[in-house]
Amino acid sequence: MIDKLIIDESYELVENSKIVMVGTNGENGYPNIKSMMRLKHDGLKKFWLSTNTSTKRVDMLKKDNKTCLYFVDDNKFAGLMLVGTIEILQDNESKEMLWSDGCEIYYPLGVYDPDYTVLCFKTEWCNYYRHLKNVTFGINDID
């Protein structure tokens, strides 16, 4: 059984983070990290992000969708890594769900811009670090 404090602190870390680091598997097996805005999430289980369809990140994800998300609180010296997979979504419902005023800066053709892609990350397991402890737990261990 996972300590409730670890789960609560993990949720708090995600809620307080506006930026998430996204790790993907790049060419020749080298890791790639990119910071992205944390737009929408369902607890620790699912996260929705957006990016340009034309980016190399989308090309990488088409070849290998194994991914991790990393959240950090540098004041508390805490970090949460979520490991899972990303699905590339192009449907209008997903695009409308994330769209907000100001997105036109990145997607000038609006919500249905073909260069606007939604990424849906699904967590398989988590690793939380704080209080000089490193705790790994499965997504099914919480609820």
Look at residues 54, 36, 38 and name the one whose alpha carbon lies nearest to residue 46. 38
Given a cut of 90, whether residue 116 has pLDDT beyond it is yes
Task: Determine the pLDDT at residue 143.
Answer: 65
Does the structure show a pLDDT above 80 at 2? no
What per-residue confidence (pLDDT) applies to 141?
79
Q: Is the pLDDT of residue 137 over 70?
A: yes
Type of residue found at 32: N
13 has a pLDDT exceeding 80: yes
Is residue 1 predicted with pLDDT exceeding 70?
Answer: no
Residue 120, both tokens: 């849906």
Query: Among 65, 79, 73, which residue's Cα sits nearest to residue 129?
Result: 79
Please give the biggest Cα pair distance in the chain. Answer: 49
Q: Are 99 and 33 in contact (CB under 8 A)?
A: no
At 74, phi and psi to the nearest 5? -70, -20
For the chain, the domains span 4-141
Average of pLDDT values for 76-80? 93
What's the average model confidence in pLDDT over 40-53?
A: 95
CATH superfamily of 4-141: Electron Transport, Fmn-binding Protein; Chain A (2.30.110.10)
Closest CA to 83 of 139, 35, 30, 40: 139
